Amino acid sequence: MSTGCTTGALPFQGAAGHEVVARFYGGTLTSDGGAVLLRAVDRATNLLGQFAACFTDHRDPTRVTHSVAALVRQRVYGLALGYEDLNDHDAIRHDPLMAVLAESADLAAPGAGKSTLNRLELTGATVGTDARYKKITVDHDAVDRLFVDVFVQAHPTPPTAIILDLDATDDPIHGAQEGRFFHGYYGHYCYLPLYIVGGEHLLCARLRPSDRDASAGALEEVPRIVAQLRAVWPEMAITLRTDSGFCRDALMTWCETHAVDYVFGLAKNARLIALITDELADAATADGDGTSNPRFVVTSRAIADVDARTLYEAVYCARGEMENRIKEQPLMLFADRTSAAKLRANQLRLYFSSVAYLLLAALRRLGLAGTALAKAQCTTIRLTLLKIGARIRVTVRKVWLALASGCPHAALFAQVHANRQRW
């Protein structure tokens, strides 16, 4: 088939008396030149090295082209750079910059294609003797511990107190995936992942079927995380904060018996409303429209320590920032791409997305402190600092990146690079 449509001249409307002609002859270019900043962050934190250590490779070493570490890096960097599907890797595997990011031994060789990466995701908990292709297993418990380890590593100075936010959200699914159920509240078939967040740090991302209470699994995940944190910081004060979906006696009882404070939203009911009839009447008079929307919060904290208004407005409502962190997962890092048939495979996809978030959050924390993007969301960071056109030239001793001269954020890029001295 003729390839003239891509190798020949492609004319467009003229501009200022000049012809405008496009042609695919620019050389070896990448649209992700800024990703070297992410690589610098990974080098400083060893995040992806720690993540790769959670995998066990059962392949014959003499027949391996792409190491587990290279596969893991390629998958995570792909998500961080906006490539949401495995199919995307059949194209980006030929980008020499991806070989740099994956720490490949041969920068001229293409990276892994979609089929190899797919086998990585589809391997079961164990590898049978008759397995031909799916031979890389992942230890889910090790990944869960890693998330907490990363949180600890990000705090050179132990914090005196932290708040752990819990929340559930919907992950719509459109096939016959394992664990598929219809959820009446959300009105569609979905998973119901559980997230636990500490500030901007993700400490747990657990994929769950949606045929259960929103709090399901919290009584397993919270003790695990608290125990791991207290093993390092035994004196640190810990508070759980969440909405009424997690306001359950068992979870509150556990907190009270393990010296963990809690601030939980409490669903309103007739008995609670009856206790505040005078307050509602005063509020309706002051508001003037006769409507009311009372909110209830239950806490282990003494009223002598914090008044009700401060508890609600300054403590409980601050959980809204946690919801922004959770929204970054599906909206910006493709945590909802859970189309594999098995729940275990989809959990691994959620892990990949979560680690991509941790990598971008580390760039935000380490490189963007004190800049205009200190609180930027992942998409803003990606479009501002990572999506930079560049020409790549690989010589015997160096990889040259000629970043676009017209990049509007060159000064910010240079500032982040200068911040590397403090990492």
- Per-residue pLDDT tens digits for 371-398: 999 999 999 999 999 999 999 999 989 9
- pLDDT tens per residue, range 399-417: 999 999 999 999 999 999 9
First to last CA, the chain: 52
What pLDDT, on a 0 to 100 scale, did the predictor assign at position 3?
43
* CA-angle at 144, arms to 180 and 70, nearest 5°: 95
Please indicate, yes or no, whether the overall pTM of this predicted structure exceeds 0.85. Answer: yes
Q: Which of 137, 93, 148 is nearest to 358 (CA)?
A: 148
Distance CA 284, CA 280 (A): 6
pLDDT of residue 283: 78
In the predicted model, what is the mean pLDDT of residues 86-115?
A: 94
- CA-to-CA distance for 154 and 231, rounded, in angstroms? 16
Contact 180, 257 (CB under 8 A): no
Instruction: For 361-381, give one letter per residue: b (16+ CB within 10 A) or e.
Output: bbbbbbbbeeeebeebbbeeb
391 in Cβ contact with 29 (< 8 Å) = yes
Tokens representing 150 are: 């990363």
Helix (H, G, I), strand (E, B) or coil at 254: helix
Tens of pLDDT, residue by residue over 175-222, are 999 999 999 999 999 999 999 999 999 999 999 999 999 999 999 999
- Nearest by Cα to 345 from 58, 59, 67, 123: 123
CA 202, CA 148: separation in Å to the nearest integer? 8
The residue whose two tokens read 């930079």 is: 388
* Category of 96 on φ-ψ map: left (φ > 0), alpha (ψ -120 to 50) or beta: alpha
Q: Contact, 191 vs 207, CB < 8 A?
A: yes
CB 72 within 8 Å of CB 52: yes
| pLDDT score recorded for residue 22 | 92
C-alpha–C-alpha distance, residues 418 and 388, integer Å: 18
CA distances from 58 to 91, 116, 125, 130 (A): 27, 14, 12, 12
- 417: CB partners within 8 A, 6+ apart: 37, 40
296: closest CA among 321, 320, 279?
Answer: 279
The residue behind tokens 């490539």 is 83
386 and 81 Cβ atoms separated by less than 8 Å: yes
The answer to whether 96 touches 89, Cβ cutoff 8 Å, is no
Residue for token pair 């004319």 = 11
Distances in Å between the Cα of 148 and the Cα atoms of 218, 221, 354 are 15, 11, 12
Helices and strands per DSSP (H, E), number in the chain: 17, 16
pLDDT digits (tens, 9 = 90+) for 24-79: 888 899 999 999 999 999 999 999 999 999 999 999 999 999 999 999 999 999 99
Q: Quick check: 333 and 353 in contact, CB under 8 A?
A: yes
Question: How many whole angstroms separate alpha carbon 261 and alpha carbon 301?
Answer: 7
Q: Residue 414: how many CB atoms within 10 A of its CB?
A: 10
Alpha-carbon gap, residue 227 to 53, rounded angstroms:
22
Q: What is the mean pLDDT of residues 346-362?
A: 97
CA distances for 248 relative to 117, 167, 253, 256, 377, angstroms: 41, 14, 9, 13, 32
Distance, CA of 17 to CA of 189 (rounded, Å): 57
Q: What is the mean pLDDT of the chain?
A: 93
Mean pLDDT along residues 357-380: 95
Segment 134-142 mean pLDDT: 95
